[in-house]
Amino acid sequence: MSRTLQDLLDKAVSDGVAPGLAAAVAGPGGVHHFAAGVRGLSDPRPMALDSVFWIASCTKAITALAALQLVERGLLSLDNPIGDRIPMLAAPKVLDGFEADGAPRLRAARRAVTLRDLLTHTSGLAYDFCSADLTRYFAATGENLLSGAPTLVFDPGQHWQYGIGIDAAGWAIEAASGQSLDVYFAENILRPLGMADTSFAPDADRRAGMHVRGPDGGHIAVDAFPNAPQMWGGGGLTSTAPDYLKFLQAIMSDGAGIAGANTLALLHDIQTDHPAAGDLISSNLAFSQDFRPMPGTRKHWTLGFLRNADDVPGGRRAGSLAWGGIANCYYWADPASGVAGVLFAQFLPFADPKMMATFEAFERATYAG
């Protein structure tokens, strides 16, 4: 299996899928790490096993775990109004359409936002790159995701919509713990799991370069994206493939001392069955393509992950946990088979078809091995 996976990644690089890739898998046969290509077009050093990637929304599952740790300790509640911890969400407004002249209509939300809403992406908080209504709202008002009290695109609990809910969960963690998110993560998750290369402040010398696809389909080197502390909980971490695999191994087994049985159940079990769970319809194709993972498979959301309700032919079993990060980072953890995998790249747009095909082939080869 190890040779097959390395050959697959080497071929992906030679075929122009990405300038460089890093990956890691764990299963009954042990743990294997891989690197292929170069760190970036502006850094031709070979990609290394310890190369650091901006993992973006792969951060979300770690933030969800942190929030549930505080629920276990009685410092946060899943179902009390989160406005008790986050004043800017104490009286949220809902975008209720637009006037004929394009002016947005706002009204009070019909109920309070809860931590459960935030963790399941049912709060009404959205990202503009996958919400045409929020994109239009920002264009009309000049606001953005960091402008004061966030506006909801629907009433809490009404739909599933990917967005900044996990960033807000990060704000709640800081308020409840009295610690900044970086300190809380380090003390309660990262150091206990030995994730020494995961942080909000990466080693610049080991960082993989960022890219975008150009008009001809090739890659163009760009500057690293800015890291806003307000958005750390939803996408601020940098990590390595081996480090992130340690997190997945802990979550799909006994919690490794960082998660109790109830927290693990909340991370594994279905919490919302909205039919759109996991699907992203892009309103900014330069940032993300449409994302419909595991097409034809029933999917649900837990309090931290996308969970498939059916076996994926040739791959993960039902009940597996998965998600990704905007710079084409992807992972899955399959408790039924004891298999987990991570594949990291650094380029936009997200859900790149060639990268998605590589990830699917990587998964199938892992199980075939």
Tokens of 296: 């034809």
HEC sequence for the chain: CHHHHHHHHHHHHHCCCCCEEEEEEEECCEEEEEEEEEEECCEEEECCCCCEEECHHHHHHHHHHHHHHHHHCCCCCCCCEHHHCCHHHCCCEEEEEECCCCCEEEEECCCCCEHHHHHHCCCCCCCHHHCHHHHHHHHHHCCCCCCCCCCECCCCCCCCCCCCHHHHHHHHHHHHHCCCHHHHHHHHHHHHHCCCCCECCCCHHHECCEEEECCCCCEEEECCCCCCHHHHHHHCCEECHHHHHHHHHHHCCCCCCCCCHHHHHHHHCCCECCCCCCCECCCCCCCECCECCCCCCCEEECCCCEEECCCCCCCCCCCCEEEEECCCEEEEEECCCCEEEEEECCEECECCHHHHHHHHHHHHHHHHC
Give the integer Cα–Cα distance in Å for 249 and 245. Answer: 6
Active site residues: 57, 60, 162
